[in-house]
Homo-oligomer: A and B are copies of this chain.
């Protein structure tokens, strides 16, 4: 069992830190919210007065933060106070470029860094069934396995530093794009007077089948857009995808169009809805606002 510092005890980080306590680790957390830290103490962990205090003496340092700026903000303190040789796992979804910077600057201080963005959402975090995409070395990946086992169901080393973020980006690109395609299929069928429910059943039974069609087609047809994963978050992720494509020097016209449709969903005021609410943009384009 390890001494673990856990920075960022939000919707995702809080249950994850709890699972690590349950698994027998000695977890010291830090978050700007006092309530979040109280929750961790109640669960059997400890809390610290700041990042520096949390990471001091830890064998494993974990961050689970909203976006690049928050990760960049805590990095200097981690670099200054973490023990040389410590394993630093960043579960945040950020740009591959920032993950690579973490790895580079961490290595300069003797830290072993993994980027490990997750998918599965709040539900996956609570149920400890997250999917984890890991970038870094095989050796560090193996060292992190007890952590991954405590919070996730599947986890995979997909390449060197930043690779986890690239795979997360690719995942969000395909997810956002699939919603946009299903939305166009729905609007086309409904506008044509087709029984869209029967139509989607046919799609779900053939080569057009997808997890999204399986679990979301009924709620989409019912215009039930309670989140789930919010448009605002997917909008943030599309920004990462475009930065990732820029970094990798590739052109992704489909991804770019999806990014604009999601930006439109947000601009139209649907940022707090589930990402399946992309359907509302497709409807609005055809003057069929629901």
The interface of chain A, by Cβ under 8 A from chain B, is: 96, 119-120, 131, 133, 135, 154, 156-160, 162-163, 166-167, 169-171, 173-175, 177-178, 180-182, 184-185, 187-189, 191-195, 198-199, 201-203, 205-212, 239, 242, 244-261, 263-264, 266-269, 281-282, 284-288
Contact = CB atoms under 8 A, between A and B. Distances in A.
23 contacts: A131-B205, A131-B206, A133-B199, A156-B202, A159-B192, A159-B194, A160-B193, A163-B195, A167-B203, A173-B185, A173-B188, A175-B208, A177-B254, A178-B178, A184-B253, A207-B211, A249-B267, A250-B285, A253-B257, A256-B257, A268-B286, A269-B287, A285-B285
A230 to B, nearest CB: 14
A166 B71 CA distance: 28
Nearest to A252: B184
Among A119, A175, A185, A266, chain B packs the most CB atoms within 10 A around the CB of A185
Given A252-B260, A257-B253, A284-B284, A170 B156 contact: no
Contact of A267 (B156, B180, B251): B251
Main SS at interface, chain A: helix
A249 B286 contact: yes
Nearest to A124: B206
Contacts of A246: 239, 263
A258 to B, nearest CB: 8
Contacts of A185: 170-171, 173-174
Nearest to A132: B202
Contacts of A131: 202, 205-206
